[in-house]
Chain A
Amino acid sequence: MFDDLRDLYQEVILDHGRKPRNFRRLEDADRSARGDNPMCGDRLELFLKLGPDGRIADAAFQGRGCAISTASASLLTETVKGKTAEEAHALSDSFRELAMTGTCPHCQAALEEEMERLQPLSGVHEFPSRVKCATLAWHTLNAALDGAKEASSE
């Protein structure tokens, strides 16, 4: 009945959806922001800890959402670690292009490895109503990096 949905719900996504990584508060976070999708009620809070060199030393999140938004946030926390703010913004832009179009021809070569890890989420581009599930955490990342408190994905 649902076989062709394995492209969207790949094992990686189901796994991260069920057992999100870095799913906790960072009490000593330097940056944090809330992401809200009022249409579907998904809500998350993202925390970033910056190292002395300005790079993201730790990232974590909490909240509730569907398998796709949870998996996306989980993978985000894993892929942004060690990035400068600028690199994290670039990764965010690339990811959003991937989620919306399924590919990212202009992505920086430097981010190839990270984009490889995020590839399983590219299936959402065929589900226009679900793209915002995948991008919510990344909007929230941008807000946190820019010092805003809230992001909304509509």
Chain B
Amino acid sequence: MSFDGVSFDVGRVRRDFPILSQKIRGKDLVFLDSGASAQKPRVVIDAMVRCMEERYANVHRGAYFLSEAATEAYEAARAATARFLNAPDPRGIVFAKNSTEAINLVAHSWGRHVLQPGQAVLFSEMEHHANIVPWHLLKEDKGVELRVVRVTDSGEIDLEDLEAKLADGKVGLVAIAHMSNVLGTVAPAERIVRMAHAAGAKVLFDGSQAAVHRRVDLQALDADFYVFTGHKLYGPTGIGVLAAKLEHLERMPPFLGGGDMISVVTLKRSEWAPPPAKFEAGTPPIVEAVGLHAAIDYVTALGMEAIEAHERRLVDHAMRRLTDIEGVRLLGRAQDRGGVFAMATDYAHAHDLATLLDRAGIAVRAGRHCAEPLHTRFGVEGGTVRASFGLYTTEAEVDYLAEALTKAREFFA
């Protein structure tokens, strides 16, 4: 297959992922839970093994060959992450444990010290708990106001509502999922940034889902904070990214205290190292950074545009195949959407359905996907079954899912 001169051969891509050739209970694995965590290509696995076999030591500490090599590899991962996001400066890239920690870092350091009482944080109805709970904690701590922008019935961010909620100029931060992990909705990020900045608010995007499926250009986007998590980008667990404008990081106090984040320490006081070190207390995820670097190189070599084009075709196909199955209701039909499909059925509870699909070799997630308020919003308290795609997902897998959903209806009838 070819798109704008970029080729994408999903059959060849699948061979890069050792786990995909596995049989589950005698059936081919149909892995449709990449939105929760993606599988890993051989190059990521090998890079991490090679790091531990040949180039491992602690970073930023030893004046010896291995420590210098590990430090170089760690900092190279930071530079690669900056290039991946087209961030203006690698010093604005902070490594955290995952997206959740990266958002908590912002809520803690920026939210508690730069945001003023009387200001508000605004998030949307389609947030993951990772982009809700830190703001609840901030509210309890600092008494900031929280505002929630509505999501329309088709699953889009309600921009009129956003406009209205920004109007009094009290919002200090707009924190929104760049792509929903339930509805698949891709938020109109550029517009949101323009609206927020015009109203004097900073913007944080939770790019946990989006960064995997779309090219992110932070210089063009002009977002203040952008977070994503390594394990969804075909990289390892244990590493996440906060990309922030340097001017914000400079004003923020540290999140955690310890080694590596200080310039001077006496027994009475410490002076902070400049960012990003200020926010990376203790031994960082060294092997994980090497794995993330390999994952970034992998998707970059395939081409984010080619991945996006492949996934677009897949999403169009899924919209045709999954929307006319009797008894299945799809949540969200945003114009701009990615490969995440949450479905409620009138014939089975999400968990019963997921157990059935598992027997057919299909891995999907059942429940509320850490987005309880959104399920309440769409009137599906009991949860949904969610199929989410990766770059290795095929049209045949979507067809197989559609067939299984039809047969499941007969099973429960």
Contact = CB atoms under 8 A, between A and B. Distances in A.
A67 interface: yes
A69 to B, nearest CB: 8
Contacts of A2: 356, 359-360, 407-408, 411
Nearest to B356: A2
Contact of A64 (B366, B381, B411): B381
Given A64-B382, A66-B351, A39 B367 contact: yes
Interface residues of B, number: 23
A42 B407 CA distance: 25
Contacts of A26: none
Contacts of A39: 367
Contacts of A130: 351, 355
B147 to A, nearest CB: 26
A29 interface: no
Given A40-B367, A41-B368, A41-B383, A8 B407 contact: no
Q: How large is the interface on A (under 10, 10 to 19, 20 to 34, 35 or more residues)?
A: 20 to 34
Interface string B346-367: 0011111001100110000011
Interface in B299-355: 348-352, 355
A129 to B, nearest CB: 8
A65 B367 CA distance: 11
Contacts of B403: 1
Q: Please report whether the interface of chain B is mostly helix, strand, loop or mixed according to DSSP.
A: helix
A4 B359 contact: yes
A144 B216 CA distance: 53
A85 to B, nearest CB: 31
B412 interface: yes
A23 interface: no
B368 A9 contact: no
Contact of B352 (A1, A4, A64, A67): A67
A67 B411 contact: no
Nearest to B412: A14
Interface in A29-81: 39-42, 64-68
With most chain A CB atoms within 10 A of its CB, the pick from B351, B360, B367 is: B351
Contact of A5 (B359, B366, B382): B359
A8 B348 CA distance: 14
B29 interface: no
A133 interface: yes
With most chain B CB atoms within 10 A of its CB, the pick from A5, A14, A41 is: A41
With most chain A CB atoms within 10 A of its CB, the pick from B352, B372, B375 is: B352
A64 B382 CA distance: 7
A66 B366 CA distance: 11
A4 B350 CA distance: 19
14 contacts: A1-B359, A1-B360, A2-B356, A2-B408, A4-B359, A5-B355, A9-B412, A41-B367, A41-B368, A41-B382, A65-B349, A66-B351, A127-B355, A133-B351
Interface of B: 348-352, 355-356, 359-360, 366-368, 372, 375, 381-383, 403-404, 407-408, 411-412
Q: Nearest 3 CB-CB pairs, A to B?
A: A66-B349, A66-B351, A67-B352
Given A9-B412, A67-B352, 5 more contacts: A5-B356, A5-B411, A41-B381, A65-B382, A67-B412
